[in-house]
Copies of this chain bind each other. A is one copy, B any other.
Amino acid sequence: MTQLLRVQNFSVSSDGIAADEGQSLARPFGDTVDPERLFAWAGATAGWPGRTDSGGSRGLDDYFTRDFAHNIGAEIMGRNKFGPQRGPWTDHEWLGWWGDEPPFHTPVFVLTHHERPSFTLSDTTFHFVGGDPAAVLEQAREAARGKDVRLGGGVTTVRRFLETDLVDTLHVAVVPVRFGAGLRLWESPDELLDRFHLEVVPSPSGVAHHLFWRK
């Protein structure tokens, strides 16, 4: 089977915003964006990777959270998803936002212009790679050993891979909240309709799941 490049559980506000400038340790998604509001729909489900109890909903939203790791063999993420540092890697103590047990469980390729050695936390190995999107995808596909590759974000990274037409499927959760300003995935989902099929599935949680796949 083909190895797909998939965007999964990518949450944006109703005005298309997924992050903002001004990222810091205290504001990982930048000035305007409150991640608790953006990911509340996912956190309420039984399949949420961070869940430690046996509760949570098992309706539609749960199909999306539990599909997160299914048949995924590697992730590609932008540098800002990995952490708030910019420029050369001066702080090698920073190992990502996720503590000792990152939720990826696969190789992760972090896009950066600056060299840094790979390291492993539990069953996730982070590699730091430059090059154009096609070359990075090629590396990730090889590491994924026949499985699909997740394009993990952030929003700038998703846009860059969309511009180079490397994305096969996207699941974007449009959340009923407006941030007003920030980094947009789109002005409107219609921008992708020249290249993708789209199904919009409203969830009882208020989220509108947008499912795109290549024409």
Instruction: List residues of chain A with CB under 8 Å of any chain B CB.
Output: 1-2, 46, 54, 57-60, 63-64, 66-67, 70-71, 169, 197, 199, 201, 203-204, 209, 211, 213
Contact = CB atoms under 8 A, between A and B. Distances in A.
Contacts of A60: 199, 201, 209, 211
B54 A1 contact: yes
Copies of this chain held together in the complex? 2
B57 A197 contact: yes
Given A1-B54, A199-B204, A70 B66 contact: yes
B57 A213 contact: yes
A59 B197 contact: yes
A131 B46 CA distance: 32
A203 to B, nearest CB: 8
Contacts of A71: 66
B2 A59 contact: no
Contact of A58 (B54, B59, B66, B213): B213
Given A63-B67, A64-B63, A211-B59, A54 B2 contact: yes
For the complex of A and B, list the 9 residue pairs with the smallest distance between their C-beta atoms, beginning with the closest: A58-B213, A59-B199, A59-B211, A63-B63, A60-B201, A70-B70, A58-B169, A199-B204, A60-B199
A59 B204 contact: no
A71 B70 CA distance: 9
A207 to B, nearest CB: 12
A211 B54 contact: no
Contacts of A64: 63
Contacts of A2: 54
Contacts of A57: 197, 213
A203 B209 CA distance: 12
Contacts of A54: 1-2
Contacts of A59: 197, 199, 201, 211, 213
A154 to B, nearest CB: 23
A145 to B, nearest CB: 18
